[in-house]
Structures are given as C-alpha cells and as structure tokens.
Amino acid sequence: MLLIPFVKYHGAGNDFIMVDDRAGLWESQMNEAWIANACHRRFGIGADGLILLQAGRDGADFFMRYYNSDGRTSTFCGNGGRCIVAFAAALGVHQGKCRFLGTDGWHEGEVLHDGLVRISMTDVHDISMVDDKALTLHTGSPHYVTFQDDVTHIDVFREGRAIRNSPGFIEEGINVNFVQQTGPGEITVRTYERGVEDETYACGTGVVAAAIGSSYHSLVEVSSWIIHALGGDLKVDFDRTGSREFKKVTLTGPAVEVFKGEIPCP
C-alpha cells in the first residue's frame, strides 16, 4: 500500500494537511472524494483544507496548491499561506524568508524571531458597498463583510450559509465575515467559509478583508489592526492611499506544527 507522508499544521485554529509534492508524485494520486475524506474530522485526519507544496517556477521558492475540505481546488488561503511558509522552512526549502506563488499570484513570507509568520497579501483596489452595514471585496478570495454590534451570539452557520447561497453569490460562493469593532484598530471576527461550508476558527483572507473593510467603513486612518478570531489573534497591516486603495498588505500570526503521519493513497 502506497502511503502519502503529511504534516498537520494550524494557524490560529485554521488547520491544514500539508504534503510535500515537490517531486510531483502526489497530486495525480488524489481526487476530490479522497481529499474530502482526508479532511473529514471523523473519517480522516481532520482539517479545513489540504495544501500541496509544489516545485517553484519563474524564480519562486515553491508553489502553493490549495484544496478546501470539500476536495475542490480553491483560491488563496491566508492562514494556509503562513502555514506553508513554516512548513517549507522546516523542510529546508528556505532559511526564514521566501517568495512563493499561489493561485492569486506572488507572495513573500517570513518566519519571525518570535516564531510568528508574516506573509504579503494581494493589494485591494475595489470595495463594493452592499448596504450601510455590509460590503464585499477580494483579498485573494471573495469576502462579504457585515458589521455587527455584538458577534458573540450570532448563528454564524445559519446566517453565513444564507448569505453565501443568496442570489449573486451562490454560483461562485463567498466567505462571510461578521465583524465587531472592539477598540481603535481592534476587531473581533467570526467567519463562515465557502468550501468548508461552516464556521472556521480563523480565516486569513477573511481577517484581512475585515480589517480593510473596517478601515474603509469607519473612515479611520488606522493601518495596523489586531483581529480576534475564535482560534487566536492575528495582525493585519497595510498602506492606504485614497479611499479604496490598500497596498503593502501583510498578515501575521501563528503557524504551528501539530503532528506528522502517513495516509494511504486512493
């Protein structure tokens, strides 16, 4: 029986199965049903997604291939991006700093002295208001941000699922973030993720969307945000020019190895 080696990582409770596929051996062995089963929390390893570290091209240290827990390929994952930077460092692919490619383009990553990992995120040029308390934007994945007085008692699964499957969003899907401002440059976020189709403990592109959306919505000049997610705290920094231009966006937070193992091929 052919076994695939993996390492389980989490970034603020957002967890991933990491596979070293630089030799190009494993992706062709996987299918949607197998990936979904591997991510299942009762019948598999259990994870919000599976990530393949693949050989880099065009000068990249590596390429990040991301699958949601439903087994389907997806757009960029911020917490997964931080975890793959830590994973690549552990494999000796880089010495703490790297440049890598995701499906949304180039990213820079760095393992900091305190063990946290920082990555660059895509610039944001377009924000669309849905109403006076909600907006949409793309931070590597599409996000809906809705501002609430208190996110503690929100039924994230029910309300997030309803927005994700509403007309205009159902075909592509959208991640839904419920945001409460708790202080200057400080917010609490709860996120319903498409592909996982449930609330996750943290969403990297989601907290970036929440921070940028909060800056845009509240008209504040704060460019460094602390975000409290269910699984821990994350930090988002950016430069803002004009009303809708957010550049030099970075996401910083933990990327923790949980355990290693092997799983049978399909």
Per-residue pLDDT of 182-210, as tens digits, reads 988 999 999 999 999 999 999 999 999 99
Catalytic residue among 39, 98, 203, 265: 203
CATH pick for 127-248 out of 3.40.50.1980, 3.40.630.10, 3.10.310.10, 2.40.110.20: 3.10.310.10
In the residue annotation, 98 being an active-site residue is answered as no
Q: Is the pLDDT of residue 218 over 90?
A: no
How much is the average pLDDT of 21-50?
Answer: 96
Q: Is the pLDDT of residue 220 over 90?
A: no
User: Between these two residues, 241 and 213, which has the higher pLDDT value?
Assistant: 213
Q: Is the pLDDT of residue 219 over 80?
A: no
Per-residue pLDDT of 140-163, as tens digits, reads 999 999 999 999 999 999 999 999
How much is the average pLDDT of 250-258?
Answer: 98
Angle of helix 204-218 relative to helix 78-91, nearest 10 degrees, comes to: 140
Nearest to 75 by CA among 129, 125, 136, 141: 141
Largest CA distance in the chain: 58
In the residue annotation, 77 being an active-site residue is answered as yes
Q: What percent of the chain has pLDDT over 90?
A: 92
Instruction: Please report, in angstroms and rounded to a whole number, the separation of the first and last CA atoms in the chain.
Output: 10
Sign (positive/negative) of CA torsion 78, 229, 47, 153? Answer: negative
In this structure, what are the phi and psi dihedrals at residue 104, rounded to the nearest 5 degrees?
A: -100, 5
- Contact (Cβ atoms closer than 8 angstroms) between residue 240 and residue 114: no
How much is the average pLDDT of 6-34?
Answer: 97
Catalytic residue among 77, 83, 98, 265: 77
CATH pick for 3-121+255-264 out of 3.50.50.60, 3.40.50.1370, 3.90.1150.110, 3.10.310.10: 3.10.310.10
Q: Is the pLDDT of residue 128 over 90?
A: yes
- Contact (Cβ atoms closer than 8 angstroms) between residue 198 and residue 47: no
The secondary structure of 53-70 as a DSSP string is EEE--TT-SEEEEEEETT
Question: How does DSSP classify residue 217?
Answer: H
Alpha helices in the chain (DSSP H): 32-39, 78-91, 156-164, 204-218
Say what the pLDDT of residue 21 is.
Answer: 98
How much is the average pLDDT of 150-177?
Answer: 96
The boundaries of every CATH 3.10.310.10 domain in the chain are: 3-121+255-264, 127-248
Tokens of 255: 């990327």
Q: Phi-psi region for residue 133, left (φ > 0), alpha (ψ -120 to 50) or beta?
A: alpha
